[in-house]
Structure 1
Amino acid sequence: MKRFISLAVLLVLSVVLAACGEEKTAADKKIVVAASPAPHGEVVKHTAIAMKKKGYDVEVKIVNDYKIPNKLLAAGDVDANLFQHVPYLNEEKKTHGYKIEEVGKVFTTPMGVYSKKHKSLKDLPDHAKIFVSSNPAEEGRFLSFFVNEGLIKIKKGVKIEDAKFTDVVENKKNIEFNNDQSAEFLPKTYKNNEGDAVIINSNYAIDNGIIPSRDAIAIENESSPFANILAVQKGHKNDKKFQDLLKVLQSDEMKAFIKKEYGKDVIPYKGK
């Protein structure tokens, strides 16, 4: 009788372990990615085709608010996200204590300066009002346009990606930055012809029918340090499923897709 009981217990344990193994395998093969609508979400959707061939099920959760994707990832509601650059992630980690890390760079959505009143940055008048987003991690990015044009100087030793408005030591035209709005509202500000110029993230521009390479009076080039990254919870960047996803996102096929769909408005990461 004891032998029969032992065999029954072993049978139950084997079934439970097998079920757990199947559950783990299923979890390893599913990847839910939080992403901005365009181009991020569209790019991730396209990766699902190649990832399916590798045995993975990739699902995209579209989020149109920069404050949400890292919150979802930190809570474990998604497995990864694609919407931010490293300076933004660092600011988020500093502010919220998120334990999130970069898997790798994917592409750059060149930020642009848009104006219905002026044709170039040099045409801006004294005390020009520039509308920018309320995102403090992008202040150096906003300033870079004017630093490159020689209109503004920042403190020596400060990297442009780390610069803040408080680091400005010279402002030839006394340019004023209005940062009262969230990034998603800036396309409307531009269309309403408010201020002298508006700086818009390209994903929001594209999503609102604005073509960066055509409409911007100044735009970032491929040397921009603000490449968007695939991010995951800390300690998981080397997990096979995320490394496989990164390889697809950085593949030649994906670069060709991005070039075909977005032309010069999205720049694939050239590194490996």
Structure 2
Amino acid sequence: MKKTWIKLGVAALAVLTLAGCGNSGSTKDSASGSGSKDDKVIKVGASPTPHAEILEEAKPLLKEKGYDLEIVTFQDYILPNKALAEKEIDANYFQHIPYFTKEVKEKGYDFTNAGAIHLEKMALYSQKIKDIKDLEDGATILVSNSQTDWGRVIGMLQEAGLVKVKDGVDLTTATFDDISENPKKLVFKYDIDPAMMATTYQNKEGDLVAINANFAEGIGLNPEKDGILVEDNNSPYANIIAVRTEDKDSEKTKALVDVLHDQKIVDFVNEKWKGTITVVNQ
């Protein structure tokens, strides 16, 4: 199976996926309220996979630093930023840089990117072809409605020589209207919730289906093994810790970000996800 790697220019961010997911609500490990700034509890909002799993591994490391970590899990990409803005949590960990940037710009959040933690590789999967060379003219490419992920997909396709974007377009903000050349006349459909992309793949819809790593894992797909086209390690779509700007230099924030780059966390991520999710440098 041929794998094509995307090399995007580094840009300021923003997901998951993940970018914006469906409005399915949240479940919480503890009551709302982030407490006083002097307490030793760090409350972090996170997506269940892999974010909450990584945070669970970080609990004993934070305990060594004198902090108790409480994890609030969310099933969508809307509520974690809302909860952070309303001071229900101290930080969130669910979104990549382009999504974060878009949310801050559009909603006026006074947030700061406290540090990149990990990269989840997006891939294009297929139930119909085994090699990108077999993609037929007029094939349908299914992409989620998360606009901040469109550039990831377009970049992979451009790297494979299937499309070309207009000169000067930044792939992290590219839309399908920015495609200037499409020799195979590929058809793009991008109205599906990110959380439904795996189901779409299982239903054998489309010729290529773009699925975020966390949702792909949920149905047993591995980007490295199963992807027809796979995102490169140099992607700017790293997932970050976001905090309110007033807390960007707090001891809590520093402890959280430092622990998530600890070698024990790196080893855990490498062992569990076999390279499809990787801890990135700060």
Q: TM-score, normalised by structure 2?
A: 0.84
In structure 2, how many angstroms separate the alpha carbons of the residues matched to 1:122 and 1:172? 14
- Provide Cα deviations, 1:95-119, integer angstroms capped at 9, x if missing partner: 2222221000101000011101011
Q: What secondary structure is seen at the aligned counterpart in 2 of 1:158?
A: coil
Contact 1:36 1:203 in 2 (8 A): no
Moved over 6 A (4+): none
SS at match of 2:255: helix
Query: Aligned partners of 1:23, 1:242: CA distance in 2, in Å?
Result: 14
Q: CA deviation at 1:121?
A: 2.7
Aligned twin of 1:25: 38
Partner of 1:166: 177
- Answering whether residue 255 of structure 2 is matched by residue 244 of structure 1, we say yes
SS of corresponding position for 1:105: strand
Distance 2:112 2:132 in 1: 36
* Superposition deviation, residue 224 in structure 1: 1.0
Q: Is 1:145 the equivalent of 2:186?
A: no
Structure with the bigger percentage of helix = 1
- CA offset digits 1:201-227 (Å, max 9, x no partner): 001111233222222111112111111
Identify which of 117, 126, 131 aligns with 2:128: 117
For 1:163 and 1:194, locate their aligned partners in 2 and report how far apart those are by CA, in whole Å: 24
- Alpha-carbon displacement from aligned partner over 1:18-48 (angstroms, at most 9, x marks no partner): xxxx95532xx11111111111110011111
Letter in 1 for 2:168: G
Q: Deviations over 1:171-191 (max 9, x none)?
A: 121112211111001100001
Query: 2:67 matched to which residue of 1?
Result: 56
Aligned to 2:117: 106
The aligned amino acid for 1:25 is D
Query: How many corresponding residue pairs?
Result: 248
For 2:134, the aligned partner's letter is D
Match among 239, 248, 253 for residue 228 of structure 1: 239
CA contact (8 A) 1:121 1:146 kept: no
* 1:94 to partner: Cα distance: 2.2
Give, in whole Å, the separation in 2 of the partners of 1:113 and 1:201. Answer: 9
What's the CA shift for 1:50?
0.3
- Aligned-pair distance for 1:72? 1.4
Determine which structure has more spread, i.e. the larger CA radius of gyration. Answer: 1
1:112 & 1:32 partners in 2: Cα distance? Answer: 31
Between the aligned partners of 1:88 and 1:63, the Cα distance in structure 2 is 16
**Residue type of the alignment partner of 2:184:** K
DSSP-derived class of the 1:222 partner: coil
DSSP-derived class of the 1:144 partner:
helix
Counterpart for residue 265 of structure 1: 276
More contact order relative to length (CA 8 Å, sep ≥ 6): 2
How big is the shift at 1:89? 0.8
For residues 37-56 of structure 1, the aligned pairs below 5 Å read 37-56=48-67
- Answer yes or no: is 1:191 the counterpart of 2:202: yes
Matches within 5 A, 1:131-142: 131-142=142-153
Pick aligned residue for 2:230 from 200, 219, 233: 219
The CA RMSD measured in Å over matched residues stands at: 1.5
* Counterpart amino acid of residue 239 in structure 1: S
* 8 A contact 2:59–2:69 mirrored in 1: yes
Q: CA separation in 1, counterparts of 2:36 and 2:90?
A: 16
Is 1:89–2:100 an aligned residue pair? Answer: yes
Ranges in structure 2 where 5+ consecutive residues have no aligned partner: 1-34
Report the identity percentage.
38
Aligned to 1:3: none
